[in-house]
Amino acid sequence: MSDSNRAIPAPIYVAETLLKKRKTNEKGAAIKARQRLELKKTKKDLRKTQFKRADEFIRDHRLTEKQGKRLRALSQGKLKGSNRKGDGKLVFVARIKTESAIHPKIKKTLGKLRLLKMNSGVFAVCDDSTIKDLQRIEPYVTYGSPSLKTVRDLVMKRGATMIKGARMPLSDNAMIEEALGKHGVICLEDIVHEIVNTGENFDVVSKFLVPFELNDPIKGWRQKKLKEITERTNEEESVEDDINKLVEVMN
């Protein structure tokens, strides 16, 4: 029999319901395969995260323990300068360091001085209470006696206050007079005068000013320099030079 006369088999038709079911099954299989892959990845990431968290927990615990030992030694007068008394001078305190874990007492003192952010700075009177606070947080701050130029530059360029919950630059003497006029402070120069002379309205004026927000030093923090600052002795002249130069590059 020739090929032309060979019988052609009848086509086999698949029921539409079966095609739909097959398509649904294939789609479901693809979704399950993707879910298995995502679950596998999630478990892998979770194992990494758990290991990282445990490692960080141990490191943070050791760090706070070390800080606690330093605070105890400070309170017992065992550290150099533990019994130092305040001299009543004006100081500018700048936050220069932060860590993933900070001892609660240090964190509380940083909050008391309003130094919650890196590169923030405040003015303070160096009395006995302030000295104890500064010694407690010294690894995280630097401080020194600012010059008149430094105080003026900070107030004029970065002076700000809080108005209705928003940070507002001191761009108008009217806002100063409205808030501090009853204390005889009506302009920026009056604020500078009260701060430099640590006058009777110093506390009112310093609370009116929100912490100064400074920039990172142009060349970044130099650890050797920081060590020289934070482990300083009683060389007051060099300390003043340090804080004024530091503010100059951060302002």
Read off φ and ψ for residue 47, nearest 5 degrees. -60, -40
Task: Tell me if 133 sits within 8 A of 98, measured CB to CB.
Answer: no
> How far apart are the C-alpha atoms of 93 and 110, rounded to whole Å?
11
Burial 87-110 (b: 16+ CB within 10 A, else e): eeebbbbbbbeeeebbbeebeebb
pLDDT of residue 229: 44
247 pLDDT exceeds 90?
A: no
**Burial (CB count <10 Å: 0-12, 13-18, 19+), residue 134:** buried
Q: Which residues contact 157 (CB under 8 A, 6 or more apart)?
A: 251
Task: Tell me if 120 sits within 8 A of 85, measured CB to CB.
Answer: no
Report pLDDT digits (tens) over 3-13: 556 666 656 55
Q: Which residues contact 90 (CB under 8 A, 6 or more apart)?
A: 123, 124, 125, 126, 145, 146, 151, 195, 196, 198
Cα atoms in the 13 Å half-sphere on the side-chain side of 138 = 21
Report pLDDT digits (tens) over 120-159: 999 999 998 999 999 899 888 888 899 999 999 999 999 9
> How far apart are the C-alpha atoms of 90 and 192, rounded to whole Å?
12
* pTM score above 0.85: no
Task: Tell me if 213 sits within 8 A of 119, measured CB to CB.
Answer: yes
> How far apart are the C-alpha atoms of 16 and 1, rounded to whole Å?
37
> How far apart are the C-alpha atoms of 178 and 241, rounded to whole Å?
36
Average pLDDT, the chain: 80
Range name among 7-11, 20-24, 36-40, 206-210 with the lowest pLDDT average: 7-11
